[in-house]
Amino acid sequence: MVSAYNPGTDAARIRAAYAFGEEMHRGQKRRSGEPYFTHPVAVAAILTEQRLDDDTIITALLHDTVEDTRAKYSDIVTHFGPEVAEMVDGVTKLTNLQLTSSETKAAENFRKMFMAISRDIRVVLVKLADRLHNMRTIKYQSVEKQTLKSRETMDIFAPLAGRMGMQWMRDELEDLAFQVLNPEGRASILRRFVKLRNEAGDVIEKITRDMDYALKEAGINAEVYGRAKRPYSIWRKMEQKGQPFSRLADIYGFRVIANDEGDCYRALGAIHQRWAAVPGRFKDYISQPKSNGYRSIHTTVSGRDGKRVEVQIRTRQMHEVAEGGVAAHWSYRDGVRTENPFAVDPVSWITTLTETLESAENDEFLEHVKLEMYSDQVFCFTPKGEVVKLPRGGTPIDFAYGIHTRIGDRCVGAKVDGMRVPLWTRLRNGQSVSIITAEGQRPQSTWLDIAVTGRARQAIRKSLRAEDRARFVKLGRELARVAFEQVGKKMTDKALNMAASTMGIGDVNELLAKVGAAELPARDVVALIYPELAKHNAAEEVARDRAVLGLEQDQTSKRGRCCMPVPGERIVGITYRGKGVVVHAIDCPVLMELEDQPERWVDLRWHSGPHAAVYGVSLEITIANDSGVLGRICTLIGEQKANISDLTFVDRKPDFYRLLVDIDLRDVEHLHQVMTALQAESDVAEVKRVRNSEYRP
């Protein structure tokens, strides 16, 4: 088969690989009862259909030998060379990775997978062909194994095939997995297709004939192919759009293969002259190709009998890349590698991805990889006309980081097509974006909710971590100092080093950062060094019979009206001349203004015993404007043993009321009980706790 597209193939070497693999797997059986070696042969046949080089075909024939037979890596090197041995080893490593394990483990295995791919991307072509054949024969596996492998295929390998530009393989992998995961859903789609054909005849043949006639009338020599979309593709559209099959448009797809780029645009004109174009359904991937090299014009038109059909228009070379993706880079014809001008460097995406994520945490790496594999892209322009590619739903924040991390960090605003827009604006294809920057600007935590690209989110998190760490170290040092003074001791670097070492924490700054971030109470640090003093001090504090512990004998405290902390929440005190100590929740915005006054900070905590329901909290509740609803809300709060101290109508609408309700509670658990009971009420649209940073002590 290889000689059919590559007369220069080393047939003797491929025959030797066949004989070696057959010998190594002799006696092994698949679950179907067939000789095991039929599987490597089938994998090689799939890659042969892609017109791949000799080394890739040989790797396919040998890909399970090192893992499942007595063959060693050195044997592959001796008989077939180091390049094939490296690829066989890479496929073996990919096979052994558990990509659907826990989040952390999966992220680390994703990282290993991309490292293996980056050395030679042909490894992933063999692995994808291996998975495709296994899915074609999955019926012989146990039900549990079928489900596991199908889910892994749907989540990992199908999107990876799509990202590699091998759309045909992605479609088949998804459909095979869909058949296992939702056989009833797939069968229902197929039944509806049969019904549609019985009612309307062969729609595909009729539309193909109409389209072919329209192109010939316009003097365009092109081939037209029609097809019904695969069941999973239709199911996904139904799920995304929330529409039944009967209302779903464009369940048919047509391809026009033209001679050259000019004919592609002329064919587009001829089709739009003959049928009405559907607004918003036009994409020009010829002038703005996808990063995997995909080029084509996409349009949707109302065809025969008003049925919507999707049309893809491309040249023969573009079609080869669209079908083969990165495999087109190695394709052979007439004994030589095909010089397809549209086939991108297959290593570029992997290299860019691995370089970008070298310093990423595991969860960030996994998030970015999945975004890269799943996302559809939009193309926007800088003021100089340079193209920036973003996932669909990308924002000016993503655009800024797409240009450079420094631009993203300093972003304060954006203009889209000359007009100032919010940073959360979703960008669309073809828009011109100008980023406004300012010296001294730093990323905001709210940007994490705006950004969608892994690159932007990683850079934002990195900046926030650095900024938070410095703040937490400073705060932690002051809290630790006060905690040491409360037991009559002075905080020293030696004492802190001893505590860090005992707790197995890397260094003093890490220890202080944990104290400042409320991950570690300062009193626990003191207790490690002076356990008897800490125990005596704790006993004294409990003896005072106060709700808040950590105050001096003569100090008084009151809750901050800005955050209204309740028992069970992490708290800190701020001293005020003539007012004693004001107790704030650790996340109160007012504390940000007092970072440069550490001498006023006091490390506090709530008494561990039960508390009376005397702590006021404000809740904003949105309820249906209907008879009896307000009464039921008040009854619900009373049933939770909470007292309403005030109630104000904030907003009255014809269908909803918004209320501000002040209630007295015991602690944070009591608050949770009240909010849960309210949220479970069908006439309550929203419940949220209200804090007012405008209040000042």
- Residue indicated by tokens 């050395």: 119
CA-CA distance, 594 to 600, in Å (whole number)? 8
CA-CA distance, 235 to 231, in Å (whole number)? 6
Residue 311 DSSP one-character state: E
From the candidates 68, 210, 485, 683, which is the catalytic residue? 68
| Pairing mode of beta strands 580-585, 557-559 | parallel
**Residue 669 is which amino acid?**
E
Residue 554 DSSP one-character state: T
Q: Are the CB atoms for 277 and 301 separated by under 8 Å? A: yes
Q: Are the CB atoms for 68 and 25 separated by under 8 Å? A: yes
**Which of these, 436, 539, 525, lies nearest to 484 by C-alpha position?**
525
Greatest pairwise CA separation for the chain in angstroms: 98
> What number of residues does the chain have?
697
The β-bridge partners of 291 are: none
CA dihedral 16, 17, 19, 22 (to 10 degrees): 180
The end-to-end CA distance of the chain, in Å, is 84
**68 included as an active-site residue:** yes
The β-bridge partners of 581 are: 557, 575
Task: Output phi, psi for 297, to 5 deg.
Answer: -100, 130
Per DSSP (E only), the strands in 577-652 are: 580-585, 601-603, 605-606, 615-624, 643-652
CA dihedral 531, 532, 533, 539 (to 10 degrees): 110
From the candidates 22, 53, 67, 75, which is the catalytic residue? 67
Looking at the annotation, which residues are catalytic? Answer: 67-68
